[in-house]
Structure 1
Amino acid sequence: MALIVQKYGGTSMGSPERIKNVARRIAKWKGEGNQLVVVVSAMSGETNRLIDLAKAIQTSPDPRELDVVISTGEQVSIGLLAMALKELGIPAKSYTGGQVSILTDSTHTKARILDIDDQAIKADLDAGQVIIVAGFQGVDAQGAITTLGRGGSDTTAVALAAALQASECQIYTDVDGVYTTDPRIVPEARRLDSITFEEMLEMASLGSKVLQIRSVEFAGKYKVKLRVLSSLEYLNKQGPGTLITFEENQNMEEPIISGIAFNRDEAKLTVLGVPDRPGIAYQILGPIAEANIDVDMIIQNVGHDGSTDFSFTVNRGEYAKALAILETVKAHVGARAITGDNKICKVSAVGVGMRSHPGVASKMFRALAEEGINLQMISTSEIKISVVLDEKYLELAVRVLHQSFNLNQAA
């Protein structure tokens, strides 16, 4: 008997009929003798509706109370799915994050999971129940409701799979696996049969929307077998999806690059003419970190006249907040000016094959240069190269790189 954790996203739960389809899929797995823990998101569009409702009351909603409001979307989903299963004659029981006791820190709207009490779930599984858990939420040490941030249901599922030592964690979404890039931009994009955790972690961090990055981190840390599947395929035509593995494929014909990731939600800030002295980076980024703003790419130019320019990128949604903070520290750090650009994007080539194949960067830069695309910032690691571009070049850059690395060809 295998213990399987499944996660269904908002699209899968988007209507009563789709919820019934999810129930039928669960019934199939249950009928094969598996124990099942199912994590669900709010119905599609519901979280946005609840956020808009909160903003209609308070322009900048209090984070604690916002968590109380937006967590209700998943509570509706778990109740409806449990009802759908019972209608099929399958014993099911719903749990909110608090009832499972998914303990988190107190960072409202983007809390992190600290511990999971799995005793009640195990007892119900042994009694033959299908367990339905609200994704995206937990409680802190004071009992306050917390949420895990966008895509947090993926993290809930992987964390439960780790705690329960599940055989597999299956992420059902509206795509049938992980693709070489977004098929909406490149119709020739190819579904990958497998991808390494390293590559998936980079893809998730660089803008791929298939899995939340924290869920991939969890899976890698606790060695959770993870598979991405489509919830929209017919039961009798379920494809294999994409398996996220710990082993690199040793096939010599495998492509050097596994995928092209991109992120539109980028903004760049530059502090001009700051003194080129030890500690200046901390004086600039310290207040940014204290405001809980994540910094991505960082570039500091070499100073020749005792001063330097310092640039970094943040999520576009935090651009205004970061810009305001820099204006307050401008005089303190002795900067000449603060500039910003919230119309940029990031495009990245990802692949473990880079480790053993030189020349990837030059090939990437040449392909972009031939299209007249200027690179504003460059960042590299062992298995990825990222570039910052003007946002208007995003789709062209993705198509060009996808073709340059032959990603539309069968592996």
Structure 2
Amino acid sequence: MPNHDKSLYTRAGVSDVDDFYRTKFVSDEVLDARYFKALDRFDIRFARTMWIYDNVRAGSSVLDLGCGAGMLALLKRKGVTLTGVDLSPECSLAARRNGYDFTMTTKLSHLPFADETFDYVVSLDVIGHIGFEEKDAVFSEVSRVLRPDGVTMHGIECTDRAARRNYEEMTAEALQKFVEIDGHVGLEEEQEHGQRFLRFFKHVAWEPRYALCLSSDEFLKQADKYGLEFEEDFLDYLRGLSFNERRAFDMAMGYVFGKISDFNLTLPKSGLYVFLKAADVPLGPFYNEHRDREALYSSHESLKELTCLDRNSAVTFDDGWYEPNLLPPIARWMSREARIRFQANDLSEISLDLTTHIPDVRERPLLLEFILNDELLTTFQLWRNGWLRMKLFVPELLFARADGDFELEIRADRTWQP
């Protein structure tokens, strides 16, 4: 394993690691479990989440290391007690809002929990962000807070030194650009990750992933930002896909990804990613040890289609809206004025989740107006960032006059572009 005398963050020009991560992975594209539908389990973008989901026992206690904005909130469908820790206070708050039972801001090498607290300690895309000088301290903490019969599971970013330059071979400028993309300062080869975990756990198993299947966005990211080689005409094809076409591509990739797991097929080394399980007790099946997807087909499926408007092909968004985000909830950015046209046989209220990233909203609140079929429903000022859930009540007389056709108009007194 490489020996680093100086922190790679420092070499990459990152003097304040806490500040570097403060908002880097805070996004409104978080997996909101309320809107996750059974069919989403086939989407390649949720393959890592589904691996954790299928290997966690219902009703157990789970610690999510580096929880980000809450990508594992789906575990709440299995009745787990879900705790998240992250270096960023903004991420911790976002995960709490996204359904985690407890979240806190802390260093992963100093977990504020008693010994033998959790049945599972899990992470996705975190180990590659931990510096080499700190990894052993983090894994020691994982072992400490895990119960004697507990299991730790991780989706880990990897490298292939035969195909890529290692950190020592990068110039200061190249290293800075590399770290700026995702913050990866701890990439190791697949077997090196396994060897590290064997220092702390008696049983370790890992499987390379993503040798064959990537999302459309990830193919482009690996090519454009990391320099991986793919056929140019294939990349041009991906760049030209519409939102619905990207969705179809990602579903097909995810379906194949899932079947590889179901059939326990061993993939060649990818140099990109590895799934890893470790425990002090013999490990169960690597895939689907506790697969129970009944909760994915629960009453959550009965949510009205209009609750998530982008799931309804009959709904029309005018030019005041931008393309939707990729992860549930399928949220859209809007300009100063935007309209939504839809039909409904019965309409007494409209539920909305909304947020703004306008930086000065506390000093100067954002004025919003909501108009349905040319009739003002409400107006108010938004004075904080973060998601707000609200309901607009539709007057009976307005509904009666509409004859099933509606146009919801939203107006803001200003807009902002980062």
TM range (shorter): under 0.3
Q: TM-score, normalised by structure 2?
A: 0.24
Structure number with greater CO (CA < 8 Å, separation at least 6) is 2
